[in-house]
Structure 1
Amino acid sequence: MTALPEIVDRDIWLRRRAELLVREKAHTRAGSALAAARRRLPMTEVDGTVELTGVRGPTRVLDMFEGRDQLLVCKHMWSLGRPFEDQCRGCTATVWNFQDATYLEARGVTFAVWCQGPYAEFAPFREFMGYQAPWYSVHGVDAPGISDGWITCYLRVGDRVFQTYETDGRGVEAMMPALQLLDLTVYGRQEDWEDSPEGWPQDPAQSWFRRDGRPIPQWKVLKPVVEEASPVDFVR
């Protein structure tokens, strides 16, 4: 039987919840202070004329802003020559969790994905997954501030482009609200690195990222077309 939290009466629960709320508010204020510090970082110029291949062919970084002043980019890893089901489970989780940039655009921020694979190879994958954000290839590109970073932010000043921020590792969790919501639940992410009580469920294999040979979102993509799919759909 899965371990359970302590059972208490409601008055005790409310008191314990209030104690935790003090820490949560401090955490929120600390996050706001970090965001304020990010806004005060200096910026460094990058070459806005570098071209990455997208749906419209070679496209300058400068043109990826689509007339807005800011550009936020998420990097997607790519395993050359591998089928769809073998592509990065972490990148899949990141991009799948963020598929609509409407609110970013309302604040003058364009969102794009920069993939490490060749455009001709990942374009069918993008279509298969149903992603609407523009994807560009950084395959073979070696340019400071462009070929590195997992999430990177840029500012356009006239015809000049500046890098203002980048993060990697767990920094990409900013794009994964599913993780933030799991952190609110009693069993959390169920990963073995978490500090959880004795007996809490653990999933060292992180099967919530990948199940039955595919990143989990791909099963949702396949489900509506099972009845009409050709054999080729399942070979992918």
Structure 2
Amino acid sequence: MNTAMAEAGTVDHPVVSMDRWVAERKALLAREKELTRMHDQVAHERRALPWVRIEKEYVFDTPEGWSTLANLFEGRRQLLVQHFMLGPGWEEGCKSCSYMADHVDGMKVHLEHRDVTLMAVSRAPLPEIEAFRRRMGWQFKWVSSYGTDFNHDFGVSFTQDELARDEVYYNFDMQPFPSEEAPGISVFYRSEAGEVFRTYSTYGRGVEVMMGTYSLLDLTPRGRIEDNPLYAMDWVRHHDRYEQAPIAKTKPAVLGACCSTHV
């Protein structure tokens, strides 16, 4: 341990001069720029993927009444769907899907101004969806695919027979999965003629794209603080189920302030 670390008493990390820090930061910046360019290239390749025309007529139960998939676009040309894990009869939605959904309301207006409608779809009946949405205080649109093949066709709901075989088709491969519902995101495009196309779907860790909190945590010294290799998100709670957030145990005194003696 170097002198600075010993004096601090609480820092278990290399502590260096500003010159060395800038040098190492610039080296990391080069790697970050490389990652940004790779991200841009992959995004370009994603947009270049071929599309699949949706031939099946899916009908959803919405707060405004029954709606086809084409009508879910609400007049825009692009639709982004969060496949939210809330099955029929569940007491509450998946906490990880809820963590994703906590980011939606702030993004909604910006997406709409870029020709994108964003909403959640679950297999639970609409009254069960609405009850949980009200509890969580969300404003975004959330519709029900109950009684349709939509969830199964998009690889986010599985039958009991499929689960009994110990592997289901998820994330474009056969694999074990512990639940009848799974998370995902799907993107659709609606042509001027009213045709609907599937342009993209992502599953597994691909859904982290909706978890802006993760991006900020990745900037911090302790990162995501996830130590469970089997279920990294075991720390996540529904936002109304967290205990009080940790606070500093002591407050620094303000030199010269008359109240500093009371800190």
Q: Determine the C-alpha separation between the residues in 2 that align with 1:218 and 1:182.
A: 20
Going from structure 1 to structure 2, the CA distance change for 1:46 and 1:107 (only over 3 Å counts) comes to same
Percent identity for Structure 1 against Structure 2: 34
Q: Determine the C-alpha separation between the residues in 2 that align with 1:163 and 1:113.
A: 16
**Structure 1 partner of 2:28:** 20
Going from structure 1 to structure 2, the CA distance change for 1:166 and 1:16 (only over 3 Å counts) comes to same
Q: Determine the C-alpha separation between the residues in 2 that align with 1:204 and 1:64.
A: 33
Runs of 4+ that moved beyond 3 A? 143-149
Task: Report 1 or 2 for greater relative contact order, CA contacts < 8 Å, sequence distance ≥ 6.
Answer: 1
**Structure 2 partner of 1:43:** 51
Shift of residue 206 of structure 1?
2.8
**Structure 2 partner of 1:183:** 218
Shift of residue 82 of structure 1?
3.7
Q: Secondary structure at the match of 2:105?
A: coil
- Give RMSD over aligned pairs: 2.4
Which shows bigger deviation, 140-149 or 109-118? 140-149
Q: Secondary structure at the match of 1:172?
A: helix
**Structure 1 partner of 2:100:** 94
Gap regions ≥5 residues in structure 2: 1-8, 157-183, 243-263
The one-letter code sitting in structure 2 at the alignment partner of 1:20 is: L
Gap regions ≥5 residues in structure 1: 195-202, 221-236
The one-letter code sitting in structure 2 at the alignment partner of 1:177 is: G
The one-letter code sitting in structure 1 at the alignment partner of 2:234 is: Q
Check conservation: 1:46, 1:146, Cα contact below 8 A. no
Q: Determine the C-alpha separation between the residues in 2 that align with 1:70 and 1:48.
A: 18
Q: Determine the C-alpha separation between the residues in 2 that align with 1:146 and 1:97.
A: 26
Check conservation: 2:145, 2:151, Cα contact below 8 A. no
Give the alignment's TM-score, normalised by structure 2. Answer: 0.71
Shift of residue 192 of structure 1?
2.0
Q: Determine the C-alpha separation between the residues in 2 that align with 1:47 and 1:2.
A: 62
Determine whether 1:55 maps to 2:63: yes
Shift of residue 218 of structure 1?
1.7
Residue correspondence of structure 1 range 105-124 to structure 2 within 5 A:
105-124=112-131
Shift of residue 23 of structure 1?
0.5
Check conservation: 2:61, 2:143, Cα contact below 8 A. yes
**Structure 2 partner of 1:83:** 91
**Structure 2 partner of 1:230:** none
Q: Determine the C-alpha separation between the residues in 1 that align with 2:233 and 2:77.
A: 41
Going from structure 1 to structure 2, the CA distance change for 1:143 and 1:77 (only over 3 Å counts) comes to closer
Going from structure 1 to structure 2, the CA distance change for 1:144 and 1:173 (only over 3 Å counts) comes to closer
Q: Secondary structure at the match of 2:72?
A: helix
Check conservation: 2:104, 2:140, Cα contact below 8 A. no
- After superposition, the C-alpha distances for 1:1-42 in whole angstroms (9 at most, x for unaligned) are 976321111111111101111100000000000000011000
Q: Secondary structure at the match of 1:99?
A: helix
Give the alignment's TM-score, normalised by structure 1. Answer: 0.79
> Structure 2 residue aligned with 1:156, among 161, 168, 190?
190
Check conservation: 2:123, 2:151, Cα contact below 8 A. no
Aligned residues: 204
Shift of residue 139 of structure 1?
2.3
Shift of residue 143 of structure 1?
4.1
Check conservation: 1:79, 1:88, Cα contact below 8 A. no
Check conservation: 1:49, 1:62, Cα contact below 8 A. no
Q: Determine the C-alpha separation between the residues in 2 that align with 1:79 and 1:161.
A: 26
> Structure 2 residue aligned with 1:30, among 38, 45, 50?
38
- After superposition, the C-alpha distances for 1:39-87 in whole angstroms (9 at most, x for unaligned) are 1000001147411111012111111111111101101111443434xx3
The one-letter code sitting in structure 1 at the alignment partner of 2:139 is: Q
